[in-house]
Amino acid sequence: MTGCILPGNFLQILYYLDPNGWRVDSPTEAVLFRGIESKYPNMTVYTDEAEVLKGEESKKLQQLFRGGYKKGASISRNERTKGGNWEPKDFKAFCPKIIASIGGTIDALLTRCIQIPMKRSKRLDELIDIVEEEVMEETKTLKEILKAYAVQYKEKLKDLYKKRPKRVGYWEEFKGRDKEIVTGVFANFRLARLIDEAQNPHSSRGKELEER
């Protein structure tokens, strides 16, 4: 199928492929950090209409997204105890987050995310209509494959991450925060290369994939 797709529909397709997705649009800060805390660590947040991150009243929400890109990140909020007093409590802020926004992201998040730019179509007849029931059915098999992959290779991915070369990592061209963001994602490419080399000793497909 060829054509164009709206950012919100693209987000929805990714959501249907995720066995641990949580779709929440225009969330408040409290909804997000309590949801992440309750579902951690097996959850990816999907949110559309992320223009809420740009309003003057959204500074707390921005703080959660800015700090929550890094594993181990948390935010502290006062919680009322049974005795009626207030005590600080830490809430987990880290988890994968996928955001769709027509107007782009705010500057503070530019160095804390992987961006997928999308161009506006000049022809309405190129737009692909998304029927949710059809998308759910068409993505069902791939969703199960991805779920099985996560279960089967979870420990190998962890091992690859822990054994990455110190300081330089697997990809020397990435520095600082960029390296923090891509290392976990790109570990899947490294694993794909190792699997391909084990199954096809004379193939270069895995190496080519990782290099791309």
Q: Which pLDDT does position 212 carry in this prediction?
A: 57
| pLDDT (tens digit per residue) in 178-206 | 888 888 888 888 888 888 888 887 766 65
Give the pLDDT band of residue 1 (cuts 50, 70, 90): very low
Whether 116 has a pLDDT exceeding 90, the answer reads: no
Range picked from 14-18, 109-113, 182-186 for highest mean pLDDT = 14-18
Largest Cα separation within the chain, whole Å, is 68
* Predicted pLDDT at 86: 93
Per-residue confidence (pLDDT) for residue 144, from 0 to 100: 93
Q: How far apart are CA 93 and CA 195, in angstroms?
A: 33
For the chain, the average pLDDT equals 80
Predicted confidence (pLDDT) per residue in 138-183, tens digit: 899 999 999 999 899 989 988 888 888 777 677 777 888 888 888 8
Distance between CA atoms of 141 and 145, rounded to whole angstroms?
6
Torsion, CA 180, CA 181, CA 184, CA 186, rounded to 10: -110
